[in-house]
Amino acid sequence: MAESHLSLRLARTWRSFVKPSICNRCLQTRRTLASQASAPQGQRDAELEEASSLGGAPDAGSGSPVRDFDPLKVPRSRKRQLVPSRYQFRSPKYYRGPLHPHQPPPPSDPASREFVPGPFSTPRLEQTYHNIIAPDFMTMCYQHTPPGFRAPQKGARLRPWIGDSPYFRNRPLRGPRGGDVLRLLRKPITFRNIPMIERVTVHSFVKGALSGGSGYIHVAGMALQAITNHRVMTHEARTNEANWGIIKGKTVSMTVDLKGEDMYHFLGKLINVVLPRIKDWNGVRATTGDNSGNLTFGLDPESVATFPEIETNYDAYPGKMIPGLHITIHTTATCDKDARLLLQQVGIPFYGKVVD
């Protein structure tokens, strides 16, 4: 047995020595130009065209357009020089209005100063929203109306002034009932107006900067930049406030506005990594909100330090200077209860009294 194996292997190696690159089977199926020309016509596929379209007319001699084409003729015959390839144009730095002759390029143009490349990823939260959360939200809030149903008409929200007084003529309409605020209308949820998260504002009031110097501002800015992947915008105090030690004109806080891809990444980190690791945390207070679907909650410095970007590089930050955050989630919902329902679906827990 062993001998036969050996001989077989020997034969294989011998064959590979003799025909180093071409195996037997390849040799049988290989078609050269000569073999193709002499091959019988019956084996060809009837639908295959014999002539290649790239070759041009076979019987045309020197007069065929392919032979006559001279690639250098056109540029030589050109009177003027072409515009240089690299376009010598400086886009204006500032937008000076629609009537100005010097207009900046659109932001999608890479030469624009507002051009932002990307998006580079599809965040999981975004996919989840479109595949799961939005249909579920629509189903939960579905209100059936029979065909032909017409909602009863309500009166105008801003009433006119009615009376005998001559001052009522051409007077602006009366303010809304019960207060000064004309609240947003809530329309029934259909497939067209399912609320979604629009943008997230991360705000940090740096109290230490009032007395401790600019180090607090810099550390907080760096922490926010690391968390949100955006440059922060700093804000100065507008008034003096003796009780809080605020001096007018001094930098006291910073914000970051997040949209799109960065927003979803930030929310994903917040919801899946940071919030579950806060000990003794009940959730967000259910009464939060500004009555138009924008909810705010805060994080203390210890929780901010558990963001993965800071936690992995914690030693680079002075521990006592890591800021706390206020996070405002702006949704397209027009009332707080819809926004709260959306954020519950996204994974933010709520606690306490519910006021709507």
With contacts defined by CB under 8 A, name the span among 16-24, 46-54, 217-225, 256-264 that binds other proteins. 217-225
| CB environment 144-159: b (16+ within 10 A), e (fewer) | eeeeeeeeeeeeeeee
Helix (H) or strand (E) holding 109: none
- Taking CB under 8 A as the rule, does residue 341 contact other proteins? yes
- Taking CB under 8 A as the rule, does residue 86 contact other proteins? yes
User: From the CA atom positions of the chain, what is the Rg in Å?
Assistant: 36
Report the residue from 317, 324, 326, 334 that binds other proteins according to the rule CB under 8 A.
317
Report the residue from 8, 10, 66, 111 that binds other proteins according to the rule CB under 8 A.
111
With contacts defined by CB under 8 A, name the span among 19-27, 33-41, 64-72, 187-195 that binds other proteins. 187-195
| DSSP assigned state of 194 | -
Residue 96: partners with Cβ closer than 8 Å, 6 or more residues away: 102
d(CA 281, CA 349): 10
Residue 160: partners with Cβ closer than 8 Å, 6 or more residues away: 168, 173, 174
At which residue do the structure tokens 């963001």 appear?
A: 307
Helix (H) or strand (E) holding 83: none
Q: Which is nearer to other proteins, 64 or 272 (CB)?
A: 272
With contacts defined by CB under 8 A, name the span among 29-37, 112-120, 195-203, 249-257 that binds other proteins. 112-120
- Taking CB under 8 A as the rule, does residue 146 contact other proteins? yes
Residue 53 CB coordination number (10 Å): 6
Report the residue from 7, 103, 272, 291 that binds other proteins according to the rule CB under 8 A.
272
CB of 294 to other proteins, least distance (A): 17
Count of chain residues binding other proteins (CB under 8 A):
65
For residues 224 and 206, is the Cβ–Cβ distance under 8 A? no
Q: What is the DSSP string of 318-356?
A: -GGGPPPEEEEEEES-SSHHHHHHHHHHHT--EES----
Report the residue from 49, 180, 280, 355 that binds other proteins according to the rule CB under 8 A.
280
Report the residue from 58, 110, 172, 178 that binds other proteins according to the rule CB under 8 A.
110
CB of 355 to other proteins, least distance (A): 11
Which residues sit at the interface with other proteins, rule CB under 8 A?
Answer: 85-87, 91, 108, 110-113, 115, 124, 128, 130, 132, 134-135, 138-144, 146-147, 190-192, 194, 215, 218-219, 221-222, 225, 231, 271-273, 276-277, 279-280, 286, 308, 311, 315-318, 321, 337-338, 340-341, 344-347, 349-352, 354, 356
